[in-house]
Amino acid sequence: MVGDTPVITRKPSPAAPWRYAGSTLRARCPTLGVTGGTAGDTIGRPTKGRGTHVADIKVYGASWCPDCRRAKRFLSDQRVPFEWHDIEVDPEGPRIVQERNNGNNVIPTIIFPDGSHLAEPSNEELAEKIGLERMAMMHVYDLVVVGGGPAGLTTSIYAARENLQTLVIDSKGLGGQAGVTERLDNYPGFPEGIGGAELADRIVQQARRYGVEMLQAVSVQGITRDDGQIDVETATGDHYHARAVLIATGSKYRRTNVPGEDDLIGAGIHFCATCDGPFYKGSKGLMVLGGGNSGLEEGLFLTQFTDKVTILEYGPTLKANKLLQDKVMMHKKMEVRTNRAVKEFKAKEDGSGKLGAVTVENRETGETEEYHPNGCFVFIGLDPNTGFLKGMIDLDDRGLVVTDMGCMTSMPGVFAAGDVRSGSTKQLASAVGEGAAAAIAIRTYLERLDRS
């Protein structure tokens, strides 16, 4: 549910009626069920001392929406009661969502008692809005893992099994990119494939089983080294000290950065087919930018909602594996056009603010082409989440973390694994493997410290 999110303040007023004073994000809080429910269902229970009624927060979304499931799970984890409205069941749901988002279908849309709303908020934005205190149980750990995707969680499981006090800090949703992937067909051990959200949940449950503490909805602003300890500073102003740190912050989808893109994100331009594809059920045509594995996989997924999916690839050939290419070429709803460069996104002239046309250059002939898809999904690569590390540790020219063969960065005691590491293959299986390898390297490093 890609969409612009309203600017919010970091510290809501203590007097706000929806503030839940004293709530602390804890990995060991019991999780309330959030998988069921229909329009108007209330999920969660009011906790003694909290004055907000159960219907004060309303969450509008859909059962197929990964971000909606994430938001529901986050609120339930923190025991914040809310009312769930499935827009496919509640006849008023779509109208309310569109009214709140300038006519766009952006979910989850969460409405608060003061009349304000958040559209597709991150866990961090949601936590700030409802006034949750976000603090770990301690301030000193053996290992702090920055990033709760498959690589970071794997390292935390290995470390906790070695009786290392381990804290995972994650700014978004535990599970990383895997958690919002529709289906994983190439992960070993699941011959029929497995949903990304299900696999991510299993990894999280395993980490909790071994006592890993998980601090959600908190971003890290800096990592420094002082007197042999590593200091991890968070956006909440807290500092956590560790003997070792793992950076496993993963990556985010790259944008085209062409004119018109920013204005149309969530209004025809998207970065997640699983999240936004169902909005285009019954449409005449959709466009996918990118001919790699992600582009073709998501394009195939989109064929169930539309009459035609057009794949545009910048280079002369597709980059996806042969199996995916064969599936696409044989699919009657798909067409592929290579050597195409997007130059501009244009809004409709009817004033709706929705995507109307995509201007494309044919790189072979130099001619300009114009396409009119109902929606455009962008899968042109990934950019690492390393902005907070600039000037602190060595990064390569693409912003990826540089490590030695043992996963250690230029700062002693700080390691990196997964998509964020320079030289990684950007595959789930390898991210899990790197997480295990990093855990072993961290154990060796700590043993060396103990002997010195």
pLDDT at 14 over 80: no
28 belongs to a structural domain: no
14 belongs to a structural domain: no
* Spatial separation of the C-alpha atoms in residues 39 and 141, rounded to whole Å: 43
Residue 348's region, left for phi above 0, alpha for psi from -120 to 50, else beta, is: beta
What CATH number corresponds to the domain at position 102? 3.40.30.10
93 belongs to a structural domain: yes
Q: Say if residue 370 is in the same domain as residue 336.
A: yes
Longest dimension (CA), the chain: 72
Look at 120-129, 136-145, 305-314 and tell me which has the smallest mean pLDDT.
120-129
Q: Say if residue 120 is in the same domain as residue 57.
A: yes
Q: Say if residue 52 is in the same domain as residue 151.
A: no
Q: Say if residue 191 is in the same domain as residue 281.
A: no
| pLDDT tens, position by position, 15-55 | 332 322 222 333 323 233 333 344 455 554 433 333 344 44
Q: Say if residue 200 is in the same domain as residue 296.
A: no
Task: Give the number of C-alpha atoms closer than 13 A to the C-alpha of residue 121, restricted to the C-beta side.
Answer: 25
10 burial level (CB within 10 Å; 0-12, 13-18, 19+) = exposed
365 belongs to a structural domain: yes
Q: Say if residue 110 is in the same domain as residue 88.
A: yes
What's the pLDDT score for residue 78? 77
33 belongs to a structural domain: no
Q: Between the CA atoms of 299, 300, 302 and 304, what dihedral angle is there, to the nearest 10 degrees?
A: 160
Q: Say if residue 300 is in the same domain as residue 321.
A: yes
Domain boundary among 322, 353, 378: 378
The DSSP annotation for 358-399 comes to EEEEETTT--EEEE--SEEEE-S-EEES-GGGTTTS-B-TTS
* Spatial separation of the C-alpha atoms in residues 443 and 421, rounded to whole Å: 19
Q: Say if residue 265 is in the same domain as residue 225.
A: no
Look at 7-16, 289-298, 421-430 and tell me which has the smallest mean pLDDT.
7-16
What's the pLDDT score for residue 172? 80
Q: Say if residue 276 is in the same domain as residue 229.
A: no
Query: Tokens for 104?
Result: 């766009």
pTM attached to this predicted model: 0.76
* Spatial separation of the C-alpha atoms in residues 56 and 86, rounded to whole Å: 17
3-state secondary structure of 43: strand
What CATH number corresponds to the domain at position 211? 3.50.50.60
3-state secondary structure of 69: helix
11 belongs to a structural domain: no
Q: Say if residue 175 is in the same domain as residue 220.
A: yes
Q: Number of folded domains in the chain? A: 3
334 belongs to a structural domain: yes
36-41 own/partner pairs: CB under 8 Å, 24+ apart: 37/84, 37/86, 38/84, 38/86, 38/89, 39/84, 39/85, 39/86, 39/89, 39/90, 39/93, 40/83, 40/84, 40/85, 40/90, 41/83, 41/84
Q: How many CB atoms lie within 10 A of CB 192?
A: 6
Instruction: Pick the closest to residue 135 from 24, 233, 231, 11 (CA basis).
Output: 24
What is the Rg, in whole angstroms, of the alpha carbon atoms belonging to the chain? 22
Residue 389: phi, psi to the nearest 5? -100, -5
Mean local confidence (pLDDT), 148-156: 97
| Residue 85, domain extent | 41-129
pLDDT band at 253 (very low <50, low <70, confident <90, very high): confident
Domain boundary among 129, 148, 174: 129
276 belongs to a structural domain: yes
Q: How far apart are the first and last CA of the chain?
A: 51
pLDDT at 438 over 60: yes
* Spatial separation of the C-alpha atoms in residues 395 and 54, rounded to whole Å: 47
Mean local confidence (pLDDT), 424-437: 93
Q: Which CA distances in Å does 5 have to 109, 123, 126, 150, 327?
A: 10, 12, 11, 27, 36
Exposure b/e, 219-228, CB count within 10 A at least 16 = b: bbeebeeeee
The DSSP annotation for 84-120 comes to EEETTT-TTHHHHHHHHTTT---S-EEE-TTS-EEES
Give yes or no for a contact between 248 and 155, defined as CB atoms under 8 angstroms apart.
yes
What's the pLDDT score for residue 35? 35
| pLDDT tens, position by position, 375-395 | 999 999 889 999 999 999 999
Q: How many CB atoms lie within 10 A of CB 412?
A: 12
* Spatial separation of the C-alpha atoms in residues 215 and 135, rounded to whole Å: 7
Q: How many CB atoms lie within 10 A of CB 79?
A: 17
Q: Which CA distances in Å does 92 have to 61, 282, 331?
A: 12, 21, 37
242 burial level (CB within 10 Å; 0-12, 13-18, 19+) = buried
Q: How many CB atoms lie within 10 A of CB 272?
A: 21
Query: Tokens for 127?
Result: 């936590």
- The β-bridge relationship of strands 140-146 and 117-119 is unpaired
Q: Say if residue 174 is in the same domain as residue 195.
A: yes
Q: Say if residue 269 is in the same domain as residue 362.
A: yes
Domain boundary among 335, 350, 378: 378
Highest-scoring range by mean pLDDT, 39-53, 66-80, 173-187, 403-417: 403-417
